[in-house]
């Protein structure tokens, strides 16, 4: 998107953060990849159709986007051969066990061997 007065490229908003047009396109492609993400080869070919950038440049842009969106609870995860958008708050919540599983009743405590009828006098 460009300013209609001067033609300068305008920053685009994603997750409440200003991104350049290139970074916004990168973000959008990763987001559209969904839970499975987008392969790094596909992402690279879509962003650099003439092969103009390097894979290291792509990684640098991802790192810079992650710095910007971290406070919003998201990050672009680039493990293996794909990139995907991860909600870090949801991920953190899924690691927390419910209270009922922490101090649950053990089989020994509910065993009939511990009942009042089993006491020896």
**Per residue in 41-74, pLDDT tens?**
999 999 999 988 888 999 999 999 999 999 999 9
Whether residue 57 is contained in a domain is answered as yes
Whether residue 17 is contained in a domain is answered as yes
| Single pTM value for the model | 0.71
Beta carbons of 73 and 93 less than 8 angstroms apart: no
Beta carbons of 58 and 66 less than 8 angstroms apart: no
Whether residue 58 is contained in a domain is answered as yes
CATH number at residue 65: 1.10.10.10
Which DSSP category does 55 fall into?
H
In tens, the pLDDT along 66-84 reads 999 999 999 999 987 999 9
Q: Into how many domains does the chain fold? A: 1
Structural domain that includes position 80: 12-97
């Amino acid at each position: 998107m460009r300013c209609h007065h001067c033609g300068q490229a305008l920053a685009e908003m994603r997750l409440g953060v200003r991104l350049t047009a290139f970074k916004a396109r990168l973000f959008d492609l990763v987001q559209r990849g969904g839970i499975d993400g987008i392969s790094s080869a596909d992402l690279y070919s879509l962003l650099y159709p003439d092969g103009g950038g390097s894979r290291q440049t792509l990684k640098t842009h991802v790192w810079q986007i992650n710095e910007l969106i971290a406070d919003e609870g998201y990050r672009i995860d680039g493990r293996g051969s794909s990139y995907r958008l991860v909600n870090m708050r949801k991920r953190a919540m899924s690691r927390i066990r419910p209270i009922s599983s922490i101090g649950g009743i053990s089989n020994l405590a509910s065993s009939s061997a511990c009942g009042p009828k089993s006491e020896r006098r």
